[in-house]
Amino acid sequence: MKTTFREAMRAAMRDAMQRDERVFLMGEDVGRYGGGFAVSLGLLEEFGPQRVRDTPLSEAGFVGAGIGAALGGMRPIVEVMTVNFSLLALDQIVNNAATLLHMSGGQFNVPLVVRMTTGGGRQLAAQHSHSLEGWLAHIPGLRILAPATLEDARGMLWTALEDPDPVLIFEHGSLYNVAGELADDAGPVDIDRAAVRRAGADVSIITYGGTLPMVLAAADSLSAEGIDAEVIDLRTLRPLDDDAILATVAKTHRAVVVDEGWRSGSLSAEVSARITESAFYELDAPVARVCSEEVPVPYAKHLEEAALPSVARVISAARATVGQVEAVAGHA
């Protein structure tokens, strides 16, 4: 069937609420308004105000309520409108949701799912456009998911709801309108492993979420130049699938990591470090990174485009990585 990323997410929530009466949705404007990005449109009419709950503008309050509901046996889906606003709930997410299992000596699980929009490229300015998932991927006790395809948008939620511990799902805002074909029987998907989205032999381009379409476009352009790029979609940012990362580096011997977060202290830095620690002697060139410029994401379109990763920047990084090897071989 033809669908969009937004509709696939909505179908996932509808399916979860039909499967399990403990599942409910709460957040700002998720009910009558249909969600800040229209993901929950129509669910209030279908499931009623007890299971689709509009909340006050208090992220700390309603994320905390979600934690309490999870502790009480429910399966809450909490929507935080954008990742920037999740900073207002960091105490609840980091000091409570992520730690209660440990601090209770294994007595209390927190089966909570928090959904939020991330990323730039939509001229929403700095307070609505940052990519902070790498920050939260730093925290033990959380699972961090970044769906990039229709199948993952449709399938990750139910698997996350079955996890006894808190799961954060980051939905890149640029993906909501992406349309494509989705199998009529599409359902839950694995959330433990990365995926090879394009096989290749010359360079591995490792990415996730909203930058995946850009990386695939770059790989197609590189192919026309005779550079065969393998594209890895991390899918789960914590825990990282080390086996998949190391396997692709062992295959191509070159890596470019694309991350919309800032370069300093980024998820790309963690991936690069793991490659260096565990696959250094497989590398024929230094690991390259393509990240956002270290500025607040600008509002002006031309400045925002200049600040974020782009197809051209990915192509340039891949060319340089492959070119370094060619240069060394020529010199030898």
Which one from 59, 79, 171, 304 is the annotated catalytic residue? 59
Supply the DSSP string of 32-45, one letter for each residue: TT--TTSTTTTHHH
Q: Which amino acid is at 284?
A: D
Q: Identify whether the C-beta of residue 162 lies closer than 8 Å to the C-beta of residue 23.
A: no
Instruction: Name the H helices within 183-310.
Output: 212-224, 242-252, 267-279, 301-307
Q: Which amino acid is at 332?
A: A
Q: How far is the first Cα of the chain from the last one, in angstroms, to the nearest whole number?
A: 54
Instruction: Name the H helices within 78-173.
Output: 83-86, 90, 100-103, 133-136, 150-162
Which one from 7, 28, 79, 128 is the annotated catalytic residue? 128
Residue (of 284, 292, 157, 271) closest to 211 by Cα position: 292
Beta-carbon contacts of residue 3 (< 8 Å; ≥ 6 apart): 11, 150, 179, 180, 181, 182
Q: Which amino acid is at 237?
A: L
Is residue 45 among the annotated active site residues? no
Burial of 274 (0-12, 13-18, 19+ CB in 10 A): middle
Cα 157 to Cα 147: distance, rounded to the nearest angstrom: 10
Q: Count of CB atoms within 10 A of residue 126's CB?
A: 14
Is residue 128 among the annotated active site residues? yes
Which residues are identified as catalytic? 59, 128
